[in-house]
Each structure stands twice: as structure tokens, then as C-alpha cells.
Amino acid sequence: MDLPTGKMNGEYYRKKIEENTGVLDGVKSRLRIIPFLKLLFFAAGVSLAVAAFRSEWDGTAGFAVAALSFVIFFLLCKRDELYLHKRAYHEALNDVYAGEISFLNGDYRPFDDGERFIDRKHPYSYDMDVFGENSIYHMMNRTVTPEAASVLAEKLSSIPDSGEEIAARQESLAELSRMEGFRHRFMAVCKGFDGEGGDCARISADGGNSNSLLTSKAGLVLICISITLSLASGLLARLGGVPWSLPASLFVMQLFVPMIFAKELNRIGADMGFLHKNTLIHARLLDVVYNETFDAGRNREVKEKLFGVHNSREALRELSSLLKKFDQRHNAYILVLLNGFFLRDLFLLRRFYRWKEAYLHHIRSWIGALAEMEARVSQATYMFNLPGFTRPVIAEDADALIDASGLGHPFIPEEKRVDNDIRIGKRIFLIVTGANMAGKSTFLRTVGANYILAVNGMNVCASKFVFSLFNLFSSMRNTDDLSSGTSYFKAELERMRELIRYCRSHRHTLIILDELLKGTNSRDKLDGSILFLKKMTELPVTGIIATHDLALAELENELPALFQNSCFEISLSEEEQYSYKIQRGVSRNLNATFLLQVILSEEL
């Protein structure tokens, strides 16, 4: 479909809700009818069977019609289960669409904000608002499973090693962003995951060790001999050939034989009870991926990992069947009858151990592949919702780290955003001056946030964004820590120590700093800042440094090949006017005294 050139509105998703609600209403209407039909055919089957047994009419015909009624009843039960799944799916699909409308309205509450991933020591994620409320993660995240949440968090917290990796990510996400139907189906199925249900991969860790006798051919022969003797003795007793005490004894013996394995059965059954629902969801996700064709190499790799030599669909379907059978063990009547006649628990254990031997080493890989796809679906949905963003261009070994036009902060709505053009040359330190609230810190985060999007293969908030690959380190939010006796100034120094060590051990790094050495006096701050920046020029570093200290801008006069001045200027008259546009030079107007005078005149 044709999308608007700017930020997408919610009309697309509202139409989707309208279409899906029509389908949902049809499913609900069928669900209202089926229970009455089930009751009707069950009652008919019972009545016909009783009437035939009493020979009120031809018994053969009566039993045949009764059997047909029960067959229809069981078919209706299956149909009822199918429509229940359909209802849950279409309700989840409406939740998906409603969540995207909330996103477009600037409300991210339907999504996990990733607060648990906040790391104040990370090179850049804390300063760049990667995690937490109204963060990059919060806006982008559509994951439900903990595995996928961790995959997405890892992507946003790391820089790839090569431009080829970024290009592969771009290709993968561009393809998924065009596959609206696939993404919506995938997210709707994911809505069914139970956060309390545990991890399907627990089976591989806690499944128990197989019993060699039980799983051997000899064990199978012994089990079959026991069942044959038990059933044959029952038949002979019915014909009067042996006393009923013999089949009764064999029944009791077979009932108690599985108790030898009771501990193992109970442990596996308990684990599987937690996993039943989530395993069914994994199986449905596999169906969604299996029925889709991918052209992008990375997306094809995920599908190959899932359906290559060892087919994950078959494995999880078999596991799902096993889970149902273990769940049936909670019914005492079924447990007694099936064990007493057929040693069912032993067959369950044999089947589970065969499954485990065949698929144990692949289950984590499959869940990891689904988590990777779930994370990509989140990223691609974010891209789809913001069609006005631009695909960045990777320029290996370029003279500039970033060359951008119309660069804006991805958090700020288009109607409020002020975009800038910026070129950040390699090994250049950009000194950014400006008044309070003029836009310095926002600009620093604009550069960092868009670079994080770019290296993850995503579109950026710019009309042009050409970049080369580099590492990122920022220092913008140092805080004191009274509990550990760490002062603000000490926290600053520790962050600078981390920065130096990082830059020494990594390839070229862009450092983003907001007001160096805030925790000391003006003269000491200036001298220390100059000393630090001159030393940093000896390392493979480019820098953007925001400062209120206009004296720091004199470094351009001293070392013009290394330092450049830019500023955010304001206009002071009866009211302040902020342009939020970056320009060459040093800021002339400061506003702290002006704003204080305004407050004093109003309050005193």
C-alpha cells in the first residue's frame, strides 16, 4: 500500500481493526452455536445407544446411528477447539493493531521499556536513552518472550564489527518492513505466550537421563509381552479358561510397574506442565515462518536453521503431543486404566527419551532463531511506522564519520522537530557552545541515537545519512553515589578513566561529552578540560563536546586542524527565541542571567 511520506497516521491500523473485527465476529457467532450442537449430538448418541441396548428397535441400526452421533460430537469438539484458537488469534491481532495506534499517538505504555537492561557503566546506552521509559527500546520493542527481549537489547547495546554486517541487517529489515501480513501474524501469535510458563529450553536442561533398559529393544519386547499376557488372560477368563484372579493380578502388577519410574515421570510431567502452552505457541510461530518465503540472506538463514536437516515443526509438534499426554496423567481414571492394561507411562517415557535424543541439541538453537526473528519483527515494525525516515549509507574509510542532512532526534514528533545538517570529520573535535536549553544536549543525543539505529540496519531520522563504522562512548549523566561514598567529581573522573581505557582498546571511537568536569571550579575546569582534550587527540578518537565555557572554544585558534567550533544561538529580547539550529562559530548570547532576572521581576 502507499504510505505517507512523513510520520504514518493510524488510519491504516484502524482499517485493519475494522477488517479483523468482521472476521472475529464471524468466529464468535460460530462459537455460540457449537455448544448447542455438541449437547444435541451427545444427548442423541446417548439416547440412541440406550434405546438400542433395550432393543426398542433394531439394535444394529440404533448402535450405528448412535456411533455416528458420537463421531459428529467429537468432530464438533475439534471444531470448537479450532474456533477458540481462531478467536484468541484475532483478538490478539486487534491488540497488535491497537498497540501500533498507541505508538503513533506517542503512547508507548503497551510495550516493555526494557528498564532491567539499564547499565550506567555501558559505553553509551545510558546517556543515549536506549533503555527505560520513552527510550529507543521502549518505542521499538514488540517482543513478548524473554529470549527475544534480550536479543533486541543486545543489538541496541553493541556495535557490529563490519559494514557487511550492517548491510545484511539493512536488507533483512527492509524486507520484513514490507511484509506487513507476516509481521502482524507473528506478533499476534506471540501474544499468546505465558510469561509465567517458563522457558521451553528447560526441557533440554532438566529432561532427565534415559533408562537404557526401558529405551532398548529388549525393554520394548518385555513391555509388549506383559501387555499381551494381560489381555490374553482377560480373554481366557471371559471364556472360562482361567480364573479371573489371574488377569486381575496381572492388571495390578502392570499398574504398579510404572511406579518404579514415578520420580522421573513426576519431574518431567511437572516441567512439561509449565511448558505446555508456550510450546504450542512456538509450534504456531514455526508454522507462520514456514509458510513465508524470504529473499534476504539473513532471513533465509533463520528459516534454514529452523527447517533444515532437523525439522523444528515436527519436533515441537511431537513435543506438544507429549505434553498433552503427560497432562492427561492428572486424570486418575485414565492413569489407572491405561497403565493397568497398556503400561502407558512406560511408553510415554520411551517416547520422551527418543524425542530428547533426537532433538535435545537443537531446541535452544530453534528458540534462539525464533527470538532473533521476533526481535527483527520489532525493528521492522518500527521502520514501517516511520516511512519518512531514511535508509543510511555506509561509506567505508570515509573522511567523515557522519555526513547528514535534515538530521533530527527520532523521539521528537515531526511537527515539533528542528532538523540540522552536520558533518563530523574524522579525528576532529567539535566544540559546541550555546545558552541553556538552546539544544546542545538534544543535538548530542540526536547524533548518538541515529547512529545506534544506523548500525542496527534501521532507517534514521534524516534526509541523508552517510556514515563510516566507529565505536561510541558518551559521558552525559554522571551522578554521585552517597551509599558508596562517591562524589560527583569522583564519578566524573571514573567515567573519564573508563573512556580512555575504552578508546585505547578499540578502533576509532566517537566520544560524546556534555560539559566536562562540572564538579570543579571554573579555572580548574577549563585547565583540566583543555589538558584532557589535547591528550585525546593522540588517540584514534573523534569528539563532540558540549560546553558553556566559551574559553574552551579558543582551542580552534590554537589547533585549527583538530578543533572546530559550532554553536546554538538564541535571540534575547523581551522573550527568548530558540532556533535550535547549529551553526559555525561560538555562541554570543547566554541566558542564565536573563532568565533569573525574569523570575525575580515576576516573583519579587
Listed by start position, the domains of the chain span 1-110, 202-385, 393-603
Is the whole-model pTM more than 0.85? no
Domain 393-603 has CATH 3.40.50.300: yes
Instruction: Give which of 465, 433, 437, 434 is closest to 449, Cα–Cα.
Output: 465
The yes-or-no verdict on residue 240 having pLDDT over 70 is yes
**Rounded Cα–Cα distance for residues 208 and 106 (Å):** 49
Highest mean pLDDT among 200-209, 225-234, 422-431: 422-431
The reported pLDDT for the residue numbered 356 is 78
For residue 75, give the C-alpha cell: 468432530
In 329-393, alpha helices (H): 332-342, 344-385
Q: How confident is the model at residue 3 (pLDDT cuts 50, 70, 90)?
A: very low
Sheet architecture: strand order including 429-434? 471-475, 509-514, 541-547, 429-434, 563-572, 576-584
Please provide residue 99's backbone torsions phi and psi, each rounded to the nearest 5 degrees: -65, -40
- Considering the chain, what percentage of its residues have pLDDT values greater than 90? 50
| Average predicted confidence (pLDDT) for the chain | 84
Residue 55 has pLDDT above 50, yes or no: yes
More confident site: 503 or 520? 503
Instruction: Quickly state the pLDDT bin for 66 (edges 50, 70, 90).
Output: confident
For the cut 50, the answer to whether the pLDDT of residue 6 exceeds it is no
Alpha-carbon distances, residue 115 vs 125, 137, 138, 450, 576 (angstroms): 12, 9, 9, 20, 36
Report the alpha-carbon distance of residue 598 to residue 518 in Å, rounded.
25
State the pLDDT at residue 394. Answer: 94
Note the pLDDT of residue 323: 74
**Pairing state between β 563-572 and 576-584:** antiparallel
Please, what sign has the CA dihedral across residues 417, 418, 423, 428?
A: negative
- Dihedral in degrees, nearest 10, Cα atoms 580, 583, 589, 592: 40
pLDDT band at 575 (very low <50, low <70, confident <90, very high): low
Q: 593 phi and psi, to 5 degrees?
A: -65, -40
Q: State residue 526's pLDDT score.
A: 87
* pLDDT for position 539: 94
Query: Does residue 399 have a pLDDT over 80?
Result: yes
Q: Which residues, including other chains, have CB under 8 Å from residue 151's CB and lie 6 or more apart?
A: 143, 368, 371, 372, 374, 375
What is the per-residue pLDDT for 254?
77
Place of cell 543489538: 155
| Mean predicted confidence (pLDDT) in 546-574 | 87
**What pLDDT is recorded for position 598?**
52
**Alpha-carbon distance 506 to 470, whole Å?**
9
Helices 59-104, 344-385: axis angle to 10 degrees equals 30
Report CA torsion sign: 360, 362, 366, 372.
Answer: positive
Average pLDDT over residues 118-130: 95
Q: At residue 88, does pLDDT exceed 90?
A: yes
Q: What is the pLDDT of residues 357-382, one digit of tens each?
A: 778 778 888 889 999 999 999 999 99
Mean pLDDT of 313-317: 79
In this predicted structure, what is the pLDDT of residue 243? 84
Instruction: Tell me the C-alpha distance between 241 and 77, whole Å.
Output: 42
| pLDDT of the residue at 520 | 66
Half-sphere exposure at residue 119, Cβ-oriented, CA atoms within 13 angstroms: 12
Percentage of the chain exceeding pLDDT 70 = 84
Q: Give yes or no for residue 189 having a pLDDT over 70.
A: yes
DSSP 32: H
